[in-house]
């Protein structure tokens, strides 16, 4: 939620109606965490830290809470929105050895993104958005707490009953191109 590394990506949307769009994206970033930044004494004393590179391909549906037809350039549009779908995330499997994060292998996992945002048209072609999105993964080794490699299983720590999450927050700028859509019944 509190960004500590830059991310970059591309988004493609197909505005099917003024209320929903099909959305596809690619995002890459580095996730970073340090126990010394924690408010919990136990984590501060442990002193672990890690960084991991995430590359994510996502597809899903974006739902606008209000009609968002930006084809009238004289009319300012604004809407909150929610997005969900499926992500395929590529990352490095990590483990901790002597207090330092070590690389084990290249991995991939399915993630479920839940994104909340607001957007407004700047012109008839440009839309500015602000969003925050949590991703629930089906992996538990993004932070090195649960190594996949059986040789490193004795080094596992933390809450072993849940999987890892990561969050991207950011600003989006989209450009609308193509013919003016007809949102009529087919």
Instruction: Determine the 3-state secondary structure of 45 from DSSP.
Output: helix
**What integer pLDDT is reported at residue 184 of this predicted model?**
52
Q: Is residue 111 within 8 Å of 98, Cβ to Cβ? A: no
Please, which residues have CB within 8 angstroms of residue 56's CB and are 6 or more apart in sequence? Answer: 9, 25, 26, 27, 28, 87, 88, 89, 90, 111, 135
For the stretch 21-43, pLDDT in tens is 999 999 999 999 888 888 889 88
Q: Report the chain (186 residues): mean pLDDT per 10 consecutive residues.
A: 83 91 96 88 88 96 91 80 98 88 93 97 90 95 87 83 91 82 54
**What integer pLDDT is reported at residue 156 of this predicted model?**
86
**What integer pLDDT is reported at residue 99 of this predicted model?**
78
Enumerate helices (H) and strands (E) in the chain, giving the number of each. Answer: 1, 7
Instruction: Determine the 3-state secondary structure of 77 from DSSP.
Output: coil
User: How many Cα neighbours within 13 Å face the side chain of 51?
Assistant: 6
**What integer pLDDT is reported at residue 38 of this predicted model?**
86
Q: What pTM did the predictor assign?
A: 0.86
**What integer pLDDT is reported at residue 183 of this predicted model?**
54
């Amino acid at each position: 939620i509190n960004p500590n590394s830059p991310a970059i990506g591309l988004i493609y949307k197909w505005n099917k109606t003024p209320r929903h769009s099909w959305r596809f994206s690619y995002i890459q970033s580095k996730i970073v965490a340090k126990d010394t930044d924690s408010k919990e004494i136990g984590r501060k004393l442990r002193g672990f830290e890690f960084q991991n590179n995430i590359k994510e391909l996502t597809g899903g549906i974006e739902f606008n809470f209000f009609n968002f037809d930006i084809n009238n350039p004289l009319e300012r549009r604004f809407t909150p929105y929610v997005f969900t779908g499926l992500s395929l995330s590529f990352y490095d499997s990590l483990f901790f050895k002597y207090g330092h994060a070590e690389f084990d292998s290249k991995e991939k996992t399915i993630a479920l993104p839940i994104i909340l945002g607001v957007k407004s048209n700047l012109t008839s072609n440009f839309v500015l958005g602000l969003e925050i999105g949590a991703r629930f993964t089906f992996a538990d080794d993004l932070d090195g707490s649960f190594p996949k490699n059986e040789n490193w299983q004795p080094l596992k720590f933390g809450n072993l009953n849940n999987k890892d999450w990561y969050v991207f927050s950011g600003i989006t700028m989209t450009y609308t191109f193509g013919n003016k859509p007809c949102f009529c019944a087919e």
